[in-house]
Every structure is written in C-alpha cells, then in structure tokens.
Structure 1
Amino acid sequence: MRLIEESPHPLGYTVESIAQARVWLEPDQLVAKLCLHQQCRALIDQGFGSVGVVAKGVFAARPSAMSMFLLGKSSPAMMSARWTSAGGGPYSSRSDRCRWANVRVDMLPYWLVFLPFALGSISHRFEVRHRLGPVMLALLCGLTLFVGMRYQTGADYDGYELIYKNTTFLSLSKMLEAIDRGFYTLVWALHQIDVEMWLLNLICAIIFMVGLGRFAREMPNPWLTVVIALPYLIFVIAMSGIRQASAIGLFYLSIVAYRERRLVAAIMWLFAAASFHASAIVMLGVAGLSFSRNKFQAALIILLTALVGYYVLSSTFDVYTIRYGTKQIQSSGTIYRVLMNLAAAIPYLILRRRFPVLGEHEIKFWTNMSWLAIACLPAAAVVTSSTALDRFGLYLFPLQTYALSWLPMMFSKDGRDAKGWTILIVGYSALILIVFLGYGVNASSSIPYRVYPLFGG
C-alpha cells in the first residue's frame, strides 16, 4: 500500500486531501475518491491485481479507470474493465471459459431457468389476454430471486458494489443532489437499516420483474414474452446494469398504463423510471407523439419533451457529452442488438393492422417505436459512441417482447396452429442465449453463476 499512498492523484489531489474533502460529488464519483484511500486493499483482495498493478491502473499517464470515473466519464463496468486490462482482473482467470466447449456446466443454471419458460410457451394456448397462473407466478418469483440474489455475477457488479459500500455516510440531502434520485434514495434507505448489497439487487430485480410480468399479462402468450426477454434483457441487463434495468421495468408499467389510456399514470411511471436512470425521459416524447392528433400538437410535445429532458439531464449533460462524444466510448455487439430490434420492427410495420389493439394511439406508439428501431441501423454507422446508441436501444426492447409475442397469432386463425411459430421464436431466443454465453465479450462476468452468501458461505 505504500506505493499507492505516496503517489499523487492524477487530478492533483493527494490521498490526504481526498480523504478530507467535503465537496459534494456524484455518489459514483465520490466512490472513486474514497476508493483511493479506503478500498485499494479490498480491490486487491477481490482479484483486481497486486499493489503495483492497482497503482499502475490508478496512476497511469493515460486516462486511467479511476481518473475517468472521477470525472464521471466511466461507468462501473468500464472501471472494472480497465482494472482488468491493467492486469489480473476478477474475471481474467476465467477468460478461457467464454467458449461453448468449456462452459457447458457453468451455463447450466441459465438453461435451467430458460427451459421451463420455453416449455410453457410451447404448450400454452394463445389468448387475447391471459391471467398469470400460479405456476408461472411461482416461476417468476424464482426468476426474481435468481436475478436479485446473485453474487459477483454481472459485468457491472463490482462497480455497483463499490458505489454501495462507499456511500454509507452520505446524508439524504446529499443523495438527492444526484441525477438518479430514485436509485440513490433507495441506496440511502438501505444504509439506514444496515443491510448488505443483496437487498439493493433484489429490490431492483423486483421492480424490473413486476414491470415485465405486468406487461406479459397483456400478451397472448406471457410465457413466450418472458422467453424473448431472458437471453439479453434479463440475463445481461437486469443482472448487470441495475439502474437501467429498474428504469426499463418502470417503462413497461408506463406502456401498460398508456395502452389503457391512463396518460397521467403513464407519465408518472416514466418520471419514476427517469429517477432510476435519467435517460428514460427520452421516451416521454415517443409516448406523447403517439397521442398527438395534428402537427401543432406534435411540435408542442417535442418542445415540452425537450424542455423536460433538459431540466432532468442538464446536470449531467457535460458528462454525457464527454462520455459519448469526445471520448467516443464503444460497446461491443451494438449492431447485433440493433438487428434484434429490427427483427421485431419490420414484421410489426408489415402486419400492424392485424395486431389487436385498444385504440389508434397504441398503433401509433408501436409504429413510432418501430421506426426508431429502424433508424438505429443507419445511426450505428455515424454515431461517435455506439454505447449511447446501445443504451437508447434498450428502451426499444419492449418492441421485441410485444411484436414477437403476438407474431404466432398473426399466422393463426384460432391460436391452435401457432405452435410452429412459437417453436421458431423459442429457438431464436435459445440461439441468442447460446451466442451470449458461449461467445459474448462479457460472458465471463456471468459464468459461473453465484448465489449471495447470506449465511457466511
């Protein structure tokens, strides 16, 4: 630790000045400063490398993980990735496992979760609206525990663990100065009862699964809806980026309210989503435009959305500009996820008049979502940061769970001959899961799956 303690901070701070600082920073930025003084040994113990490696990763001449995190230019996943690239990261010892032949056993927990929903979707009889039965409710509860009770599983797990451990002394007023007020208020509340991080993960998993489950209830085959979400939205996003996963779950509730013409409730759910991840506010414009009846209303909605978005995002605008513009941060596999949204958008646009809807506003909403999904394809070739496009694309994922859930019924007269299309969609989802677990860049962060050691295991 002597090497670290004697090294100057890349932004001109010493360890002592960092420890004594009283200036408010975003909680995730504060974590980085405190990490220099309090958490270096913990990082080493968790497998981030030796003292020399950590010191090199923190104080390198190039923009390091820590200095980038201090400036708000790096996400928890990026911070972990940079430490890993510096040498000896928590997943480097398992880097060779991300190939299908070597991880078949480690993949088993994911397939054990996937198969019951796959079998349920194939055996299910399609109905326009379906009540979730006790078996499916039990499986959804089990899935919630699977997502929420994980331990050191997921690309962002280590970053969020640092955030959680190092915000224990912050007051509620300081937490409310953060941009994602809902999330950090939840963190503050959990610190008041002195509970470990597993409850934060579990609550975020519950928020996400309640949203997805409520949406699935509106679909003709809720089992199939969950199957479509499992390979990426659940196993990747909900088990890693818990803030945006919570925002997506709340966005699902907003979609249900919007579908039922409960516009005030839909807007409130969107604002709740933005309190967990501010980027969710951009979907307010999509919903608003779907209710517009003329160009004047559309222009007014766009203006109001821009004003609200500026108010919500203004405090982090510079951070987002640097993160997604100047630094051109990239996400691997973005083009494949764009194509996944495209695979739902095109069939919907072709068959949209055949989809059972509750009104013209619903057709407009899914049409707007489809055109946005299509627009992401040329955007992928010109945007400076594929990560920005990738994160926006997550809010278009409900289009997949909507369009693909209804697709078998579009080619069926009474639902009896829809099984072939259902099997095709289940196979498509299984293929995505195989690709992620066997060849995904971040697959090693999810394999093997671990359960949180509540009882000191």
Structure 2
Amino acid sequence: MARRGCRATVIYVGIFLALIALRLALAHQPPLRDQVYLVVLVALFLFVAFRLEVGCDWNGYYRHFLMQLDLGLADVLTQREPLWWALVQLVGQLGLGYPWLNVASALIFFAGVHVLARIQPDRLGFLVLLFPVLILNMPMSGIRQAAAIGVICMAFAAFSAARTARFAVLTLIAAGFHSSAGVFLLLAPLAGQGWIKARLLAAVALAVPGLFLLATGDGAQLAVSRYVNTGVDAHGALYRAGLLALTAGVFFAALRPIWNIRFGTDYRIVVLGGLMMLATVPLVGLSSVIGDRIGYYLVPLQAVMLARIPFLGLGLPGAVLSATAYAVLLAMLGVWSVFSGHFHYCYLPYDTWLFDLPDIYHFPN
C-alpha cells in the first residue's frame, strides 16, 4: 500500500504541485499567465481524455457503449438522458471505439470550463483549483456528469451576463446529459438584471411546484430507490461537501461585501452558489450520492470564489486565505491519493492510449 501510495503521490499530487508552482511563478504576469493557461488547459485535456482504463466508471461506461451499439438512434428518445445516449450513438456511428467517448465527454467538459474561465481575472488559478476534486472525479471517471458540468459552466457564464434564456436552454441541455442538472432550472428567474424582488418571487413561485415535480418524478423516485437508505455511498462525499460549505462560510463572512463592489456582474450567481454549497452538507446526510452529485456542479463556483481572493484587495489576510485554499486542497489530495484504497483501484496505474489504441477497443467490424 505504501509503495502504491507513493506512486499516486508522484503522478497526481506531483501534477498539482507543478500547477501551483506555475501559478505562483506567474502571479505578477497576467498576460503570460493567460497564455500559459491555454497550454495547461490543452495538456489537462490530453491527460484526461486519452487515459486508458483509468477511472472508477471505465467499465460501466464501456457497457453503455456496447449496449447502444445494439440500439438505433430512435431508441435514444426513450432514454432518461437522451443527449448522453445520442453522444454514445454518434461515437458508434462514426466507427470510433469506446475510448473516443471519453474524448468527447472531456471535450464538452473542458470547453465549458474554458467558457467560465474566460470571464475570470485569473484563468490559470481557476483551472488549477479545479484539478484535485472536479477534474479527477468527473472527466476522469464520471464522464456523463462531466459533460453536464461542462454545459452548466457555460450556463453559469450566461447567468453572470444576465442572459436568462441562454441560461435556461443550457441548463436543459445539461439535463439531457445528466438529469441531476435540472435542479438549476429553479435559478432561471434570477438570471436577468433588475426587478430583483419580482424575480425572487417568481423563483419562489416556480420552486414550489418545481421541487414537487423533481421530488415526485420518475428520476427522483429512481434516485431515492437507489441511493437513500440503501447502503450505497459516495466515497469522500462528506469531505467534499464540508469543503464546499467551508468555502461558502468564508465567502459570506469575509468576501461578500467587497465582492459586490468589485465583481457585481456575477455577485448574484456566486451568492446563490454559496447558499447551495451550505445545503450540500445536510443533503449528504440524506444521501451521500445525491449530495455529492449536486456538489460537483458547485465546484466551479467554489473555484471562482477562491481564485478571486487575490483581486479583492484584502491585503495580508487575503494572501493568507488564498494560500490556505491551495494548501487545503493539496493536503486533501495527498491524503486521498496515499491512503485511499478506492483511489488506488480507480486511478492506478495511469496509462494513456494517445499514441496507440489497444486492439480490444477498436470498433467491431
């Protein structure tokens, strides 16, 4: 276990350390930092998209792929997440093997991350903060939700730009990949500018029937039957939810008043995200899987909060807070990668098919 733990540290913690060092080295060089961000974005995409038999859900999604090969495109419309199954069908129709499904999902995920990163004053810092929790768990494992998270990142950017219709459409698209994204439709009335009281009343008016439909629909009933009081747990959900809640606590206690002055355009979505982060802890108490799934959508907003700390003019306390964020994530990744048998099973050894796809994954003749 110790030897495998060291290998995990070298691969994943080593990457995170290198990313942190790069961000520190470019702290006072914004133009160069943005250029390096693009290089890192592409490098992480290649690392994630072209992995080989890495990730807890590799075999599960391989079964998805093989199942869809026996179905027609018309069968896609009968599925709960039609856009996901359409993507699976498209990869098969193009004559590509299963690993290309991971490439497609990673492409959607990183495209969405890039859309949200472009409106950040520190694109590189935002991307680095996503690595230890979101990138390792989603596009490197849960590729269906990873695609949904990518689209939700685009929706968050639309929310910040007060584009209500675009936010709603993108959220619907995300729900087509993973139905859990549909919960964010309840935020649509709050996405525009002005008339905040009227929008808040509209959101509350929609939330009551919306939550009722979500709670009584087939998807919710299926989720409850699978994940509530069944012994099915998400590994590390409480720690991830706790980190989200801690970030939200810092935001409301120390960052919120200054944020409204310096970053007013996305103040509303960040406040709403912070409230949802606080709610993930009791939700994990109900079901670690459901709470964890909702929490992953909020990690990009968490990264927005943490990456903006150096730009809030907080002086030494801000510098300490910013450094603490990286240190906590580094410690969390280190403990996870060294001591978690689940991590070892899912992520070791790391391998890539970038230069040679094994014959077993070639599309069947």
Cα offset, 1:405, TM superposition: 0.9
What residue in structure 2 maps to residue 318 of structure 1?
Answer: 221
- Partner SS state of residue 433, structure 1: helix
SS in 2 for 1:450: coil
The superposition leaves residues 80-100 of structure 1 with CA deviations (integer Å, 9 ceiling, x where unpaired) of xxxxxxxxxxxxxxxx3xx4x
In the alignment, which residue of structure 1 is the partner of 2:142? 241
CA distance in structure 1 between the partners assigned to 2:271 and 2:317 by the alignment: 27
8 Å CA contact 1:208–1:246 kept in 2: the answer is yes
Q: Which residue of 1 aligns with 2:362?
A: none
Query: Distance between the aligned counterparts of 1:173 and 1:447, measured in 2?
Result: 38
Q: Say whether the 8 Å CA contact 1:247–1:273 is kept in structure 2.
A: yes
Which whole-Å CA distance do the structure 2 matches of 1:283 and 1:130 have between them? Answer: 34
Are 1:140 and 2:41 counterparts?
Answer: yes
Q: In the alignment, does 2:199 pair up with 1:297?
A: no
Matched, 1:279 2:176: no
- Which whole-Å CA distance do the structure 2 matches of 1:240 and 1:309 have between them? 26
Quick check: 1:454 aligned with 2:356? yes
**Counterpart residue number, 1:357:** 263
Distance 1:303 1:417 in 2: 41
* 1:107–1:447 Cα contact (<8 Å) kept: no
In 1, distance between residues paired with 2:303 and 2:338?
23
Residue aligning to 1:165: 66
Aligned pairs for 1:9-408 within 5 A: 96=1, 99=2, 101-125=3-27, 133-289=34-190, 292-294=196-198, 296-303=201-208, 305-306=210-211, 309=214, 314-325=217-228, 327-350=230-253, 351-355=255-259, 356-359=262-265, 362-381=266-285, 383=286, 385-408=287-310
Q: Which amino acid letter does the alignment assign opposite residue 19 of structure 2?
A: F
Cα deviation 1:39-85 (Å, max 9, x = unaligned)? xxxxxxxxxxxxxxxxxxxxxxxxxxxxxxxxxxxxxxxxxxxxxxx
Higher helix proportion: 2
- What is the aligned-residue identity percentage? 24
| CA RMSD across the alignment | 2.7
Query: Which residue type is aligned with residue 436 of structure 1?
Result: W
Kept in 1, the 8 Å contact 2:57–2:142? The answer is yes
Pairing 1:427–2:324 present: no
Inter-CA distance 390–257: structure 2 relative to 1 (3 Å threshold):
same
- Against the structure 1 CA distance between its residues 290 and 217, is the aligned structure 2 distance closer, same or farther, given a 3 Å change threshold? closer
Distance 1:135 1:380, change over 3 A: closer
**Alpha-carbon distance in structure 2 between the residues aligned to 1:319 and 1:424:** 40
Q: Is the 8 A contact 1:330 1:386 kept in 2?
A: yes
Matched-pair contact (CA < 8 Å) for 1:153–1:450: yes
Deviations 1:374-401 (CA, angstroms, capped at 9, x unpaired): 23334444x1x22111112112222311
Deviation at 1:179, TM superposition (A): 0.9
My pick for the range that moved more, 132-141 or 159-168, is 132-141
Q: Residue by residue, what CA displacement relative to the aligned partner does 1:247-285 show, whole Å, maximum 9, x if unpaired?
A: 111111100111011111111111111111011010111
The aligned amino acid for 1:407 is I
Question: Is the contact made by 1:122 and 1:423 (CA closer than 8 Å) also made in structure 2?
Answer: no
TM-score, with normalisation over the residues of structure 2? Answer: 0.86
Provide closer, same or farther for how the CA distance between residues 431 and 305 of structure 1 changes in structure 2, counting only shifts above 3 A.
Answer: same
Please tell me the residue identity of whatever aligns with 2:267: I
Tell me the CA shift for residue 174 of structure 1: 0.6
Instruction: Give ranges in structure 2 of 5+ residues lacking alignment.
Output: 360-365
For residues 184 and 53 of structure 2, the distance between their equivalents in structure 1, rounded to whole angstroms, comes to 31
Check 1:187–1:102 CA distance in 2 against 1; reply closer, same or farther (3 A cut): closer
The answer as to whether partners of 1:260 and 1:358 remain within 8 angstroms in 2 is no
1-side partners of 2:117 and 2:241: how far apart?
A: 22
Change (3 A) 1:348 1:417: closer
Pairwise CA distance, 1:334: 1.7
Q: Verify the 8 A CA contact 2:33 2:124 in the aligned structure 1.
A: no
